[in-house]
Structure formats: structure tokens, C-alpha cells
Amino acid sequence: MGKIIQSIDVGSGFTKYVTKQIGREISCALFPSVAKAAVGGLKSFQKTGIGAKQTTICVEVKGNKYEVGPDVDVVGASRQLDDNYSASAAHEALLLGALSFVGKTNIDLLMLGLPVHTFEQNREKLIEKFTGELFTWDQRTGERVVTKVNRVEVVPQPLGALYNYGIFRGEMDRVKRGNNLIIDPGMNTLDWWVSEGLKPKISRCDSGGGIGMWSVLQLLADKISEDHFDGRPLDPNVRIDHALRTDWLVTLYQKDIDLKNYKSLIQSKIDQNINEMFNSIKTIADIDNILVAGGAGLLFGDVIKQRLPDNKVTILPDSIYSNVKGFQGCGMAIMGEL
């Protein structure tokens, strides 16, 4: 029987986790990275209306209860967008929530990720915190259960995308033969990773806080408010982010707005954000493979393609899951299951 490998990617925007693996076919799920103070007992919330069911689960961190899950109310929710995110109670609640939805009580290897610029300072802390017996919650009953985690490994988040491309898209020979640039725009950070084969070129790997998707959403919300609503406040969590991931149409204050009218503003902001990355990388003359991953991969990828018209830029399919799938691949390599 194979080892039980579980991968979770707790991002600032969404928490992604592997739900099933059959061979090299990986299924994933996600929920917003919002942990709201919960009232009541430690029960999963199956809130039922007429023809509708709302699913969240209540977890406990250091005596405080948090509601997390696919249907958590993001309106007015605050997100922790700083370098201490992985040490926060919210991060722990989200990770315990993901483990609770997975429902495994014994895990041989738990794979996690961190942004490049906080990797060294926080890796060992995450390993220590999540190795051993953890309290999770049964999704059906809401009762507390013990999940035993025998081993934890933490990798830089963009490395997940590289392993995803190499293992699950059958491109490992290409990865090993060339120099690779992985670009990973998340909600708060923009990470980049340059490697020769699988060996990182550390001086050209980094990430920047505050230059991810949240800065774009905030600028867009402010501009929409100015144009349509006399400066009334707009929460970027509410509908705008979802619209950009789907049909670019959003209804705010009962008014329909086509976000395509703001495409040049969005692209200009992204172009500004990626300048820091290109300054750090120094040159792309020696780069053979350029991969774009992450929750904002499609939006950032389009701008990066415009900046690099003579280069092939690959936006990984299901880019929001690209890292967590790659974590699973890393775990398979660690456990000798490739």
C-alpha cells in the first residue's frame, strides 16, 4: 500500500488542497483564505435553506474558534497580508480546516509551501508546528478528531509549479536540461524562481510582498468607486475578484459593470508590479522555460507575454492549483513513489 501524502497550499487568497490521487491524476479543492471568529460549539456548519446547503467548519486555535470553508462569508473579512502570515492563527485555522475537509487521520507526509522571501525564516517553524498529533474536526459531525502527521516537508511555492510541469505534464527532461523561470503571482506576493535544471540560482530567486493580485484588486475597486459610486467604499473581496476569474462582469450597488473597460488599468498595474521581478532576475537571455502559475496566473501571464513577445511563456492549466499539485509531486519524489 502506498504512503499517504497530503499537500496543502495556504495562500493569502485561497487555501488549496489535494482531495484525491489516482496514479498521476490529481484532484483538488479550495476555499477562501478567510478565518472568521466563530460563535457556538465546535460543529461543522451545514446551514440549510430552501434547496441550498452552506458548508463551513469550525476549528480551534489556542482556545479561539474560527469558521473556515468554501462558503465562509468574505464580506468585510480582513486578510493578513504580511511576512508573518504563516505564523498567524488564521493560517493555522485554514490549514486545520483543509485537513478537516480531507478527513484523513493518519498522514505519512504533509507537504506545505511558503513564499520565497519567507522560506528560510519560517520553514522549520512550520515543520515543528504541524508534525505530530493535530486536532481536526469531522466534517459530518463536527466532533474533534486526532490527525497524526508523521512528517512535514516545506518547499518554496514556485517549486511546486516546476514539479507540476515536470512530473504531471511529462516535461521533466526539458526541465532538467534547461534554465527555468517560474513566476507565481498570488494574492499578496509575487514569487519568482530561477533554476538550472532543478537546482535553484538563489541570487535570482525572490518574492515581493504587496505586488500580488490584492494591489490590483484594491486599485480597481477604488477606480470603480470613483467612476460610478461617488467614492463609496468597495471591498475588493466582494465580487470583483470572482468576476476577473470568470466573465469580467460584476454587479455592484445593483449596477452592472463590465470590467473589460478597466483592462488597461489592470494591465498597467500588473506591468508595474512585475518590474521588481525583472530587475531581480537581471536577464532572461539564458532562460529556456518560462512558466506562470498561481491564482493570478492568467492575468499576470497575459501581461508577461506582452513584455516578452519573443519568448514562449507557458501559463499552466488550472494555474491556481499548479503549486499544490506540484507539492504532491515533490512528496511522491521524497517518498520514492515516482
CATH code at position 41 = 3.30.420.40
Residue 283 resides in a domain: no
Write out pLDDT tens, residues 21-53: 998 899 999 999 999 888 765 555 555 555 556
Residue 284 resides in a domain: no
Q: How confident is the model at residue 71 (pLDDT cuts 50, 70, 90)?
A: confident
Strands (E), the chain: 5-10, 14-22, 25-32, 36-37, 45-49, 52-61, 64-68, 106-107, 109-114, 132-137, 144-149, 152-156, 179-185, 189-196, 199-200, 206-209, 249-252, 255-258, 289-292, 313-315
Q: At what angle do helices 263-281 and 297-307 cross, to 10 degrees?
A: 70
Question: What mean pLDDT comes out for the span 140-164?
Answer: 93
pLDDT of amino acid 75 = 64
Highest mean pLDDT among 64-68, 75-79, 252-256 belongs to 252-256
Write out pLDDT tens, residues 229-288: 999 988 877 689 989 989 999 999 999 999 999 999 999 999 999 999 999 999 999 999
Residue 216 has pLDDT above 90, yes or no: yes
| 8 Å CB contact between 112 and 126 | yes
Domain count, the chain: 1
Residue 122 resides in a domain: yes
Residue 209 resides in a domain: no
Please state, as a whole number, how many other Cβ atoms lie within 10 Å of the Cβ of residue 134. 19
pLDDT of amino acid 77 = 64
pLDDT of amino acid 55 = 80
The model carries a pTM of 0.91
pLDDT of amino acid 76 = 59
Please state, as a whole number, how many other Cβ atoms lie within 10 Å of the Cβ of residue 209. 18
User: Which residues make Cβ contacts (< 8 Å) with residue 173, sequence separation at least 6?
Assistant: none
Give the domain extent around 27. 5-158+323-334
Residue 255 resides in a domain: no
By mean pLDDT, which of 34-38, 100-104, 306-310 is the weakest?
A: 34-38
Write out pLDDT tens, residues 177-206: 999 999 999 998 999 999 999 999 999 999
Q: How confident is the model at residue 17 (pLDDT cuts 50, 70, 90)?
A: very high
Residue in 39, 87, 31, 91 with CA at minimum distance from that of residue 65: 39
pLDDT of amino acid 205 = 94
pLDDT of amino acid 49 = 54
Residue 182 resides in a domain: no
Cell of 100: 478537516
Residue 208 resides in a domain: no
Residue 220 resides in a domain: no
